[in-house]
Amino acid sequence: MIRCDALVVGGGPGGSTCARRLRLAGWDVVVADRARFPRDKVCAGWITPGVFPLLDLDPAEYRATGLTMQEITAFRTSVIGASPVDTMYDHVASYAIRRCEFDDFLLRRAQVRVLENTAITTFRRAGDRWIVNDTIDTGVVVGAGGHFCPVARHLRGGTDTSDPVVAKEAEFRLDGRASGTAGSTPELFFCRDLEGYGWCVRKGDYLNVGIGRRTSADFNDHVRDFMAFLERTSTLSPASDLKWRGHAYLASGAGARPLVADGMLLVGDAAGLAYAESGEGIGPAIESGRLAADTLIALKGRSRAADLQPYAKALARRHPRARRTPAPLKPVFAAVGRLLLGSRAFTRHIMLNRWFLRASSLLLAASVLAPAAALAQQSAAAPDKSVATRLQRFEDKEEIQNLLLDYGRYLDNRDFAGYSSLFAKDGEWVGGFGSVTGPANIKTFMEKNMGTQPNTAKNYHLLSNFVITVNGDTATAWSRWAFVVPGERGATIAQAGRYDDQLVRENGRWKFKKRVASNDTAGPAARGK
């Protein structure tokens, strides 16, 4: 029987990061992987700069090993068939690595016992320890086995309730093939329905080509069309004879699977943490591996499910559940999206900087360190003044401000489904019409009182003077509203008042717990604000 403090199932980036950090804190760690390293992983191998600080690794240190590391200073993006947009940076905006090299490097660097060729299949609880495969006796099991992780399967029991992203890629030495893709400039090709995208990422002599989609419907047709497109545009020639490798992963936010149990926790793809917008999963795997280790270290030997909740909560905050677009709206969103992807400003600031490059590495690192640090300081009475806490509060305020504005937008559009979704499950609305509790009741109540006809009068709310105070997972807000009615002689403010709000973070999103709408003007219409 092998005995250890922690067994990490899976030696990918999430597992090796967690293992290394635990080992540095003096833990006796074993990593078990069903593969023999170096092993490859179906992946484009694109990493954001924030990944290196999370690994405590300088890019120069990695480059010095002689392993492939392509610096990326631009992106070429397009909707398939439309003109491309080139976005240039005056610094290295990203890197591309080869997973067969990168993962092996990280695992060796962890300097822990590695059981290769060892597929983990069974878990048995014995007191406060786990007996794994009847051969490993461990205090803690970290599930880092990717999408098909056996620990995740053990925790969730049944099947996933969210649909995974399906993806295929081929990575090969260019030898004899012609490629128009420059190493410094990966190319992204968005499907016309915006349900996925294809890519060409050059890494020195190698090219990685692939496509991923949020739905498996007609997936092989999309792959075939994409290949034909690459050949037709001379992006890659020939392209139709590539040897594809497929894989799946969840990218719908934390909570799709249970994240913790007594002596067990999930990291990376096992927890379903890849970002919905970009599909980036290496960064989240490393970040969560690090956070898992820091949580365990701070707990000083405690590892009951209740002890591990701060880890689950931190992941839920960092990876809120992705909003799904209602099916009838998808064509509308796709049409708007296609237009936006032709805009240089949108492409740079929103699509690339915000969704693909995910703000700054500092923000990423700071938010990782916060929960573990908070855990360690749990007994300390002094308020946490760390950068991470202040950043979190700043982000919370921004999200709450958007919530207050969405309220007005939905109301003015008479979209009471959207309007009611802004309330917590026990959220309450109080105003001139009376009071009502719960999103479903609020929807019916507003439809009855305001009507469901389109707002042909084009009246609207002006919302201002926000005062928002955040306190952990609850907040209060105060703001002013004015109701504007356009007329032949210009617009007039027909009514005005204020909102007093109590807010709560529910499943990672801010919602109204209670909204009290007061009217400072008299009059019969001064009601449903």
Ligand X SMILES: Cc1cc2nc3c(=O)[nH]c(=O)nc-3n(C[C@H](O)[C@H](O)[C@H](O)COP(=O)(O)OP(=O)(O)OC[C@H]3O[C@@H](n4cnc5c(N)ncnc54)[C@H](O)[C@@H]3O)c2cc1C
Residue 203-222 contact track with ligand X, rule CB under 6 A, x = bound = -------x-x----------
Closest contact distance (angstroms) between CB of 213 and ligand X is 11
Contact residue for ligand X among 4, 7, 8, 12 (CB under 6 A) = 12
15 scored as a contact of ligand X (CB under 6 A): yes
Which sign does the torsion angle of CA 152, 154, 155, 157 carry?
positive
**Stretch binding ligand X (CB under 6 A), from 43-51, 79-87, 214-222, 438-446:** 43-51
By CB under 6 A, residue 101 contacts ligand X: no
Contacting ligand X (CB under 6 A), which of 4, 13, 404, 483? Answer: 13
> Under DSSP, is residue 245 helix (H, G, I), strand (E, B) or coil?
strand
- Strand 509-519 to 423-431 pairing: parallel
386-405 positions binding ligand X, by CB under 6 A: none
Whole-Å CA distances, 196 to 80, 192, 219, 239: 11, 9, 10, 19
Applying CB under 6 A, does 32 fall inside the site for ligand X?
yes
Q: Is 242 in the site for ligand X (CB under 6 A)?
A: no
At residue 491, φ and ψ (nearest 5 deg) are -90, 145
CA distance linking residue 294 with residue 296, whole number of Å: 5
DSSP-assigned states of every residue in 109-124: HH-SEEETT-----EE
Q: Assess 35 for contact with ligand X (CB under 6 A).
A: yes
Out of 280, 287, 428, 501, which residue is the one contacting ligand X (CB under 6 A)?
280
Look at the block and give the residue holding tokens 């009059």. 523
Among 52-60, 69-77, 144-152, 252-260, the segment contacting ligand X (CB under 6 A): 144-152
CB of 48 to ligand X, least distance (A): 7
| CB neighbours of residue 412 within 10 Å | 16
- Distance, CA of 495 to CA of 244 (rounded, Å): 62
Neighbours of 234 (CB within 10 A): 10
State which of residues 171, 269, 396, 399 lies at the interface with ligand X (CB under 6 A).
269
44 contributes a contact to ligand X by CB under 6 A: yes
Among 143, 145, 196, 508, which residue interacts with ligand X (rule: CB under 6 A)?
A: 145
Q: Of the two residues 120 and 504, which places its CB atom closer to ligand X in the complex?
A: 120
Q: Which is nearer to ligand X, 43 or 223 (CB)?
A: 43
Size of the site for ligand X (CB under 6 A): 43
164 is an interface residue for ligand X by CB under 6 A: no
Judged by CB under 6 A, the stretch of 39-47, 64-72, 297-305, 383-391 that binds ligand X is 39-47
User: What Cα–Cα distance (Å) separates residue 59 from each residue in 51, 119, 439?
Assistant: 10, 32, 49
Q: In this chain, which residue has its C-beta nearest to ligand X?
A: 281
Residue 512: burial class (beta carbons within 10 Å; 0-12, 13-18, 19+) = buried
Q: Is 146 one of the binding residues for ligand X (CB under 6 A)?
A: yes
Least Cβ distance, residue 477 to ligand X (angstroms): 36
**Paired residues of 426 in beta bridges:** none
What is the Cα–Cα distance from 73 to 76, expressed in whole angstroms?
11
> Which of residues 190 and 429 has its CB atom nearest to ligand X in the complex?
190
Helix, strand, coil tally for the chain in percent (to 5)? 35, 30, 35
- Contact residues for 66 (Cβ-Cβ < 8 A; gap 6+): none
Q: Which residues contact 63 (CB under 8 A, 6 or more apart)?
A: 69
Point out which span in 19-27, 32-40, 465-473, 481-489 binds ligand X (CB under 6 A).
32-40
Interface characters, 336-355, with ligand X (x: CB under 6 A): --------------------
Nearer to ligand X, 282 or 298 (CB): 282
Residues near ligand X (CB under 6 A): 9-15, 32-35, 39, 41-47, 119-120, 144-146, 148-150, 167, 169, 210, 212, 247, 249, 268-270, 274, 279-283, 285
